[in-house]
Structure 1
Amino acid sequence: MKHLKAIQKYFWKYRVRLGVGLIFIFLSNYFNVLTPQVTGYVIDFVPRKLGLPGYQPPKRAPQYDYLVTKFINWMEGMSGLTQVVAWCGIIVLLLALLRGFFLFLMRQTIIVMSRHIEFDQKNEIYKHYQQLDSGFYKRNSTGDLMNRIAEDVSRVRMFSGPAIMYLVNLISLISLAVFFMYKRDPLLTWYVLAPLPVLAITIYFVNNTIHKKSEKIQASLSDLTTNAQESYSGIRVIKSFVQEKAMLGFFMKNSEEYRKNAIGLAKVEAVYFPSITLLIGISTLLTIMIGGLYYIRGTHNIGLDTIVEFVMYINMMMFPVSAIGLTASMIQRAAASQKRINQFLDTKPAIAEPQKATKVDLQGNIVFENVDFVYTDTGIRAMNNFNLSVKKGQKVAIVGRTGSGKTTMAQLLLRMYDVNNGRILLDGIDIRELSLRQLREQVSYVPQDVFLFSETVENNIRFGLAHADAADVEKAALQASVHKEITGFSQGYQTMIGERGVTLSGGQKQRISIARALIKDPSMVIFDDCLSAVDAKTEKEIIGNLNDYLQDKTAIIITHRIFTLFAFDKIVVLEDGRIVEEGTHQDLLAIPDGYYANLYARQQETDREK
């Protein structure tokens, strides 16, 4: 239950709805418990009025509710038996209508409140997800993230709505019923309530079992969701390697684990609910047996009206008491789900907005000073005493073998990670002092792993730029040499792109991603091997466009190829997170047996063979 304290803020936010809803619950139950009293009065009035043999008037007048007493006093003035019975029937019907009306209002307040809480909580989780750093997403699977924002939030909603409603309904109805039962006959009330301690002990032990099983169910459901999500995303790989059967077996294994846990919980609940019904049945039997014996013996001032009232009270409590198990199950499941949600909400972003963020218009001067960086999860040292200076407007190429630290350098510059030692300066300001939003708004980044959304081509290009019009989008597409192909699509720029751009070729995805970067018109651009999937002719065209576009911008281009048509101010060769060669194209070619010279020679040979 302690985990559910996290949603107290939502109850406070919707306190008016909650408070009014609780009042409606009480009123619906209040009008409900008046029905046995009116019925008991009729049961006593008929034999008394008819003077039936064996009827004995009660030694002590029954104590009814104030409203029922007022009604009885009004009824006593009537002489006709039929008239009294008819009016009692009308009153019982009226009480049922009032109860139904307040039940309707109860659901309109409590259940609607739970939907508002669900809405707010999903937004809170999604907002927190977006604030978390890249390392978090490497450690946690997408399926688990989705399960917590969907299934877990849904279970918490069952607590904030139905469970609260059932719990308050249970407490109010039992309290009112026991109160009027005790006023009617204290001794018989104690007999009727005798099975309740057994019920309380049963609930305590079963709740612990339900809680443990609920945690296992949610964990196995996350594994199942992750398995399905990865299979759908990687379906082309699965089909190309003919692994459908193997993946189905893996899914069935996770599904079987979920099934076992779910069936285990269902078995507990299957024993639990009938047990509660049995205890209610025992209470009914005790009422009839003990009340009947007292009535036959003429002791304890118990008449047929008392027995009828108690049986009606017990039947009224049948659903609320039987709902104890359902309510307890909802609460325990919600607690298990909220615990999982809290685990992520309590996760602090490794990359945080500085308390006093510096906001400046960046010019494009970049300095890496003695930068060290190690990936926490793998222990790989990606940057090792790295030093580099890039002046405003310079064009720098970063080359090196796979794993040399090229992409890490770009991500550090965007502050996707923070350096372990040293610092990165932009225009003389430590990058950790800059506003994250302003930093990333002023840097265009084309990642190595291109990602496109399930949206139109136009919306993918102007992603994040609501003010960009169709002319801006077309201009960026022309610069990225993809305009001609887009206009050849069935609906041009309004063509929908499949999930992750599956409907496009690799080269098309890369060029649309380049267009997305160019439309921002930033002071700095970072291209991470973004031309690997385009042919030589298109590559030449794009580089020609970039020469014009990047004239007054600082550009860092990470590549495995050497662009001889692009006039780089500086070329940097990385090896194990260090700079091993640095200079212009001609400077590096002059280094005997250098990495850059060898790479250039191999590329020239490959181009001649083509």
Structure 2
Amino acid sequence: MKHLRFLNKYFYKYKWWIIPGVFFVIISNIFGVIPAQVIGHAFNLITENIQIYGLFEGFERRNIIYDIFSTSLFYFGLLVLVLYLLRGLFLFFMRQTIILMSRHIEFDMKNEIYAHYQELSLGFYRRNNTGDLMNRATEDVNRVRMYVGPAIMYTINTAVLFILVIYAMFSVNSTLAIFSLLPLPVLVVIIYFVNTLINKRSEQIQEQLSRLSSFVQERFSGIRVIKSYVREGHTKAVFAAESQGYKDNAMGLVKVQALFYPTMLLLVGLSTILTVYIGGKQVIEGSISAGNIAEFIVYVNQLTFPVSMLGWVTTLIQRASASQKRINEFLQLQPDIVSGNAPIVPVRGNIKFENVSFTYPDTGIQALKNISFEIEQGQFVAIIGRTGSGKSTLANLLMRMYDVNQGKIKMDGEAIDSLDLRHYRSQFGFVPQEVFLFSDTIKNNIAFGLDKVNEEEVIEAAKNAAVYQNIINFDLKFETMLGERGITLSGGQKQRVSIARALIKEPKVLIFDDCLSAVDTRTEEEILTNLGKVMKGKTSILIAHRISTIKNANKILVLEDGRIIEQGTHQDLLQLGGAYAEMYQNQLLEEESSGNSPLV
């Protein structure tokens, strides 16, 4: 139960739901126990009046005794009916408080988990797959809800009923009560041993379900690749194997439960037999009446349902504990990136890297080594280099997706780790290398970074990103719905919609992370021309592979193996005759061989 202590704060929050719920449980069980006593009195009435009725055989008063007898039975039956109706009414109130409380807790937990996921750093998402994250926020939370709702409700109900029934039994006859309850200690021992098995199986089931969810989510996302390589059969076989693993674990749990429930019912049946046998002997001895046996049988039968539910409740608690343990693993993680508390001031765009080194914590790869450079407000700076040279890492560090291992990154003279994180990031327009569009309209994708936006702003951003003509050719224009990850659009169209999403923010700093790779040369020039107008007086950073994209930059940084090996303007670097000039000559030859030479 140590993992479930996390829920105590929710119980305190909703204490005014729990307290009335417990009150309704007690009242409903009182109205459940009293009918047994009424039935006992009715049984005694029947046995006594049958004897009296026999003594008046042949007398006129026999009909009067019959009328009294039948009227008394009618009132006893009516009383039992009223008591059970009252019990049902309070059971309804009990469910309306405790079960509804569990739904509120489920709502709060999902929001807390999602909010915590949002705060965790980029490295967290590199280490964990999407399917597992989704499973913890949905399936695991649902299993915890079954604990805070039905499990707690039935546990309280069973505990109250046991106390009332055992008190009633011992108040009638302690010897008969002891024999009736004799099988219960055996049941406790069985539950103790079964709990361990249920907990183990529950953890295995949840882990297997996470793996299964991750597999399905990843395969659906990569369905194009699967179809292209004709691997449908292979993925089907792997899915069947994963499903078989889940099935085996689930069947193992079912087998434990299948043995548990009949054993409990057998022990309850044994209690009934002992009640009849021992009670019959005591009736013969005159210690109790026949009505007391009937009363005890009702008590034992009242315990049958709670005892049979005990196994189910035990399963719910164990599975909830396993799920809460998985949830706590992530909720206890603290974000690597923590917001600073410096006063919020407008960002101008003066950037400075001072001896920055960075190693990715997940892989141990050193991406940057003692990098130093400066970007002044309003400059257009380009970063170029071979794959793996550290270009995208620079962008991630500047956006504080990661924190540097050594050195300092400053914005307007202030270390960025001292600035308010939300305000700092809001000043950037970022177009990532891997474009991501949401399953929404084109308009909403472009306006994603803003709370309020008008149609004219969306149109202007689309024009600046050179995607306006493509959009108006669609039947629904800006209201066109995109498929998952923007699958409706081509690669170049997705890149330009992503660029429009960054431009509409009118950011102080704009970062293009190699996002013009799928755009033709003419469209690229149009975008860069528009960019010069939109970002006038603001800082722009362009990461690229093609020199045609960056030749007009105010400053070009050439990266290799995590170090800046050259920096300067296009003409300066050509005159230097180093790595940049070599790349320029290679790309020039490629363009000339294809019949198009925009580099000249």
Which category of TM-score, normalised to the shorter sequence, fits these structures?
over 0.9
What is the CA RMSD across the aligned residues, in angstroms?
1.4
Match of 2:258 among 266, 270, 290: 270
- Quick check: 2:566–2:573 contact (8 Å CA) kept in 1? yes
SS in 1 for 2:410: strand
Q: How does 1:365-514 map to 2 (within 5 A)?
A: 365-514=350-499
1:602 alignment counterpart:
586
Match of 2:121 among 133, 136, 142: 133
SS in 1 for 2:334: coil
Query: Aligned partners of 1:123 and 1:256: how far apart in 2?
Result: 33
2:63 alignment counterpart:
none
Within the alignment, does 1:213 sit opposite 2:201 as a pair?
yes
Q: CA deviation at 1:294?
A: 2.0
1:4 alignment counterpart:
4
- Quick check: 2:544–2:550 contact (8 Å CA) kept in 1? no
Alignment length (residue pairs): 584
Query: Aligned partners of 2:574 and 2:239: how far apart in 1?
Result: 54
TM-aligned CA distance change 1:449 to 1:6, over 3 Å: same
Query: Aligned partners of 2:73 and 2:360: how far apart in 1?
Result: 83
Normalised TM-score (structure 1): 0.94
TM-aligned CA distance change 1:357 to 1:208, over 3 Å: farther
Within the alignment, does 1:260 sit opposite 2:248 as a pair?
yes
SS in 1 for 2:547: coil
- What amino acid is aligned across from residue 18 of structure 1 in structure 2? I
Within the alignment, does 1:344 sit opposite 2:325 as a pair?
no
Query: Percent sequence identity over matched residues?
Result: 52
Q: How does 1:226-265 map to 2 (within 5 A)?
A: 226-265=214-253
- Quick check: 2:143–2:319 contact (8 Å CA) kept in 1? yes
- Quick check: 2:349–2:378 contact (8 Å CA) kept in 1? yes
Q: CA deviation at 1:562?
A: 1.2
- Quick check: 1:404–1:575 contact (8 Å CA) kept in 2? yes
Query: Aligned partners of 1:377 and 1:462: how far apart in 2?
Result: 33
SS in 2 for 1:504: coil
Within the alignment, does 1:587 sit opposite 2:572 as a pair?
yes
Query: Aligned partners of 2:464 and 2:563: how far apart in 1?
Result: 33
- Quick check: 1:547–1:566 contact (8 Å CA) kept in 2? no
- Residues 433-482 of structure 1: per-residue CA shift (max 9 Å, x gap): 01110111001110000000000000000103122111101000000000
SS in 2 for 1:384: strand
- Residues 411-442 of structure 1: per-residue CA shift (max 9 Å, x gap): 00000000000010000000000111011100
Q: How does 1:17-32 map to 2 (within 5 A)?
A: 17-32=17-32
Match of 1:113 among 101, 109, 112: 101
SS in 2 for 1:438: helix
Q: CA deviation at 1:566?
A: 5.7
Query: Aligned partners of 1:251 and 1:54: how far apart in 2?
Result: 76
Q: CA deviation at 1:47?
A: 2.8
Q: CA deviation at 1:250?
A: 1.2
- What amino acid is aligned across from residue 403 of structure 2 in structure 1? D
Q: How does 1:57-76 map to 2 (within 5 A)?
A: none
- What amino acid is aligned across from residue 290 of structure 2 in structure 1? L
Query: Aligned partners of 2:242 and 2:80: how far apart in 1?
Result: 54
1:62 alignment counterpart:
none
2:181 alignment counterpart:
193
Within the alignment, does 1:314 sit opposite 2:288 as a pair?
no
Q: CA deviation at 1:46?
A: 2.6
Within the alignment, does 1:161 sit opposite 2:161 as a pair?
no
Query: Aligned partners of 1:224 and 1:20: how far apart in 2?
Result: 41
Q: CA deviation at 1:567?
A: 2.6
2:313 alignment counterpart:
327
SS in 2 for 1:590: helix
Deviates more, 1:108-117 or 1:558-567: 558-567
- Quick check: 2:355–2:370 contact (8 Å CA) kept in 1? yes
Q: CA deviation at 1:79?
A: 8.6
- Quick check: 2:283–2:290 contact (8 Å CA) kept in 1? yes
Query: Aligned partners of 1:19 and 1:127: how far apart in 2?
Result: 29
- Quick check: 2:356–2:409 contact (8 Å CA) kept in 1? yes
Q: CA deviation at 1:157?
A: 0.3
Q: CA deviation at 1:295?
A: 1.7
Gaps of 5+ in 2: 56-65, 596-600
1:576 alignment counterpart:
561
Query: Aligned partners of 1:54 and 1:440: how far apart in 2?
Result: 96
Query: Aligned partners of 2:54 and 2:128: how far apart in 1?
Result: 78
TM-aligned CA distance change 1:281 to 1:54, over 3 Å: farther
Match of 1:101 among 51, 71, 89: 89
SS in 2 for 1:563: helix
SS in 2 for 1:236: helix
Query: Aligned partners of 1:374 and 1:205: how far apart in 2?
Result: 49
- Residues 324-382 of structure 1: per-residue CA shift (max 9 Å, x gap): 1000000000000000000000011111122x243110100000000010001111100
Within the alignment, does 1:562 sit opposite 2:563 as a pair?
no
- Residues 291-333 of structure 1: per-residue CA shift (max 9 Å, x gap): 112223x24x122101000000000110001111000000000
TM-aligned CA distance change 1:496 to 1:564, over 3 Å: closer
Query: Aligned partners of 2:500 and 2:545: how far apart in 1?
Result: 21
- Quick check: 1:540–1:565 contact (8 Å CA) kept in 2? no
Q: CA deviation at 1:51?
A: 3.4
1:39 alignment counterpart:
39
Query: Aligned partners of 2:54 and 2:276: how far apart in 1?
Result: 19
SS in 1 for 2:492: helix
SS in 1 for 2:195: helix
Q: CA deviation at 1:82?
A: 1.8
Query: Aligned partners of 1:124 and 1:457: how far apart in 2?
Result: 30
SS in 1 for 2:440: coil
- Quick check: 1:395–1:569 contact (8 Å CA) kept in 2? yes
Within the alignment, does 1:535 sit opposite 2:520 as a pair?
yes
Match of 2:77 among 85, 89, 96: 89
Q: CA deviation at 1:179?
A: 0.7
TM-aligned CA distance change 1:125 to 1:599, over 3 Å: same
TM-aligned CA distance change 1:154 to 1:315, over 3 Å: same
Q: CA deviation at 1:49?
A: 3.4
- What amino acid is aligned across from residue 491 of structure 1 in structure 2? L
Q: How does 1:135-150 map to 2 (within 5 A)?
A: 135-150=123-138
1:152 alignment counterpart:
140
- What amino acid is aligned across from residue 475 of structure 1 in structure 2? E
Query: Aligned partners of 2:513 and 2:549: how far apart in 1?
Result: 17
Q: CA deviation at 1:602?
A: 2.1
- Quick check: 1:110–1:161 contact (8 Å CA) kept in 2? yes
- Quick check: 2:382–2:550 contact (8 Å CA) kept in 1? no
- Residues 203-242 of structure 1: per-residue CA shift (max 9 Å, x gap): 0110111001100110011001111111100010011011
Query: Aligned partners of 1:204 and 1:98: how far apart in 2?
Result: 35
Q: CA deviation at 1:576?
A: 1.2
Normalised TM-score (structure 2): 0.96
Gaps of 5+ in 1: 56-77
Query: Aligned partners of 1:139 and 1:561: how far apart in 2?
Result: 32
Query: Aligned partners of 2:50 and 2:145: how far apart in 1?
Result: 56
- Quick check: 1:27–1:102 contact (8 Å CA) kept in 2? yes
Query: Aligned partners of 2:248 and 2:452: how far apart in 1?
Result: 53
Within the alignment, does 1:526 sit opposite 2:514 as a pair?
no
Q: CA deviation at 1:83?
A: 1.7
- Quick check: 1:543–1:565 contact (8 Å CA) kept in 2? no
SS in 2 for 1:317: helix
